[in-house]
Structure 1
Amino acid sequence: MNRTVEVLPDQSALVARALELILSKIDTAIQQRGRFTIALSGGSTPKPLYEAIANQNLPWDKIHVFWGDERYVPSDHPDSNELMARRAWLDRVNIPPANIHAIQTDEADPALAATKYERHLQEFFHSASGELPSLDVVLLGMGDDAHTASLFPHTEALKVRDRLITVGNKDSSIRITFTYPFINSARSVIFIVAGTNKRPALAQVFAPVADDFTYPSRFIQPQGELWWLLDAAAGGNQ
């Protein structure tokens, strides 16, 4: 596996390194393909990264933003990943509205919303049914239960291998999420993980042998690069 693990001194250094890496990926993608595609993660850890990206002078018309998962709430709900990213980054820059590819959460049936987002991705990437397009970067976090995106331990979403998008569940909370095969088709997957509470899960994710369904981040083994950026609190044992 093409895995790189970096342990940074603190969260500030973690954000700085993530920013450096993403700016490099933006430059390469635009030079090679004329555009850059990125899937965002939710949670509190990436927020300062999004704020840092917003302060850059970038060719926003060539950058396309997707989401790796979304809670099934309205886009103006405090729990919305889209809302967080808009406030921290997207509403602060001159990115064309058509370049923001949010997950729609207004269908009565979440499965229909998942199908619609998958169709949107297929149309954007001009990919056929069953084909896995490649985003330039998929940003991921990891919970202290080793979940990533909305792929939670021992849930049905972990069994979906023939779709780009599926419905995820955490207890009674409905999510829309990338499937792990779609994540694994990315050119670069970048985990950003902070906090001592992540250490036990990381030990299992990095272990030579462990149960993937118990520690879902183990499923993330992309065809491209795999980066684990950890602060010292999370990665002190790595």
Structure 2
Amino acid sequence: MNAPDPTQCRWHVYADKAALQDAAVSAILDSAALSIRERDRFNLVLAGGETPREIYQRLRSAPTDWSLWHIYFSDERCVPPTEAELNSHMAGEAWLDHVPIPRTQIHIIPSGPRADKAAEEYAQTLRGVDPFDLTLLGLGKDGHTASLFPGNEWGVAPDSPDTLAVFNSPVRPPQRVTLSVARLNRSRQIIFLVSGESKRRAVARWRAGEHIPARAIMGENGVDVLVESSLLS
């Protein structure tokens, strides 16, 4: 990837999904190695949804010291904890249940029953964790990222709370917990993973400079967007 620039959104274009996944796995492991070498721990924020599933699966065999990984989540749906649609369930099934990261270092967002209570609890979990080493994010077809949706509060101000309760998500379930823009931006590195035809219009809007939630994300070293070439044609 290009050298970090705090003012830039850097677009990295890949021929297909497999090439994008290769780059994502390499970037995650490079970030882990650097963070462990410099700070003796790796604070990683995971994206939800289906785009990163195969990336997570490939991390199972990574040559790394799992005892130094600390896992956080960018957002979560407020549904019963047995629901398969939980981001934490997907990450566990694909990856986290198969590697020896200490369970106390996998910081799952409470899934309910009330978004405001869950947000308050996760804010306490994040207290003293600053900044993240790497944050992974996705892109929704409406331009949302994490559970920061158009028309809702994004928590952009520097003094915004770390977590936000969402009660009116335009896609089910309506209640969610999300990290705020301000908290996500306190990351040494931010990588968006963008794959799938449904993201084409959101990518075009982002590159045209429209005010979509994803565009509000800009970490201290800028942002890297990994995208399939077919979405730019």
Same fold (TM over 0.5): yes
In 2, the alpha carbon distance for the partners of 1:38 and 1:112 equals 24
Q: Quick check: 1:75–1:82 contact (8 Å CA) kept in 2?
A: no
- CA RMSD across the alignment: 1.6
Q: Offset of 1:57 from its aligned partner?
A: 2.3
Write out the 4+ residue segments of structure 1 that deviate beyond 2 Å after TM superposition.
Answer: 156-161
Partner of 1:120: 125
| Cα displacement string for residues 190-217 of structure 1 (whole angstroms, at most 9, x for unaligned residues) | 0000123222211221224x3x2xx111
Partner of 1:167: 165
Amino acid in structure 2 at the alignment position of 1:137:
L
| Cα displacement string for residues 58-114 of structure 1 (whole angstroms, at most 9, x for unaligned residues) | 1010000000000001332111000000000011111111110001124x4321210
Q: TM-score, normalised by structure 1?
A: 0.89
Partner of 1:129: none
In 2, the alpha carbon distance for the partners of 1:196 and 1:190 equals 19
Q: Quick check: 2:46–2:71 contact (8 Å CA) kept in 1?
A: yes
Q: Offset of 1:55 from its aligned partner?
A: 1.6
In 2, the alpha carbon distance for the partners of 1:58 and 1:74 equals 33
Percent of pairs identical after alignment?
33
Partner of 1:71: 77
The total of aligned residue pairs comes to: 223
> Aligned to 2:101, what secondary structure does the other structure show?
coil
Q: Quick check: 1:41–1:139 contact (8 Å CA) kept in 2?
A: yes
Q: Quick check: 2:131–2:186 contact (8 Å CA) kept in 1?
A: yes
Partner of 1:200: 201
> Aligned to 1:170, what secondary structure does the other structure show?
coil
1:226 and 2:220 are equivalent in the alignment: no
Q: Quick check: 2:116–2:165 contact (8 Å CA) kept in 1?
A: yes
In 1, the alpha carbon distance for the partners of 2:83 and 2:75 equals 15
Structure 1: gaps spanning 5 or more residues: 126-132
> Aligned to 1:38, what secondary structure does the other structure show?
strand
Q: Quick check: 1:146–1:205 contact (8 Å CA) kept in 2?
A: yes
In 1, the alpha carbon distance for the partners of 2:140 and 2:177 equals 17
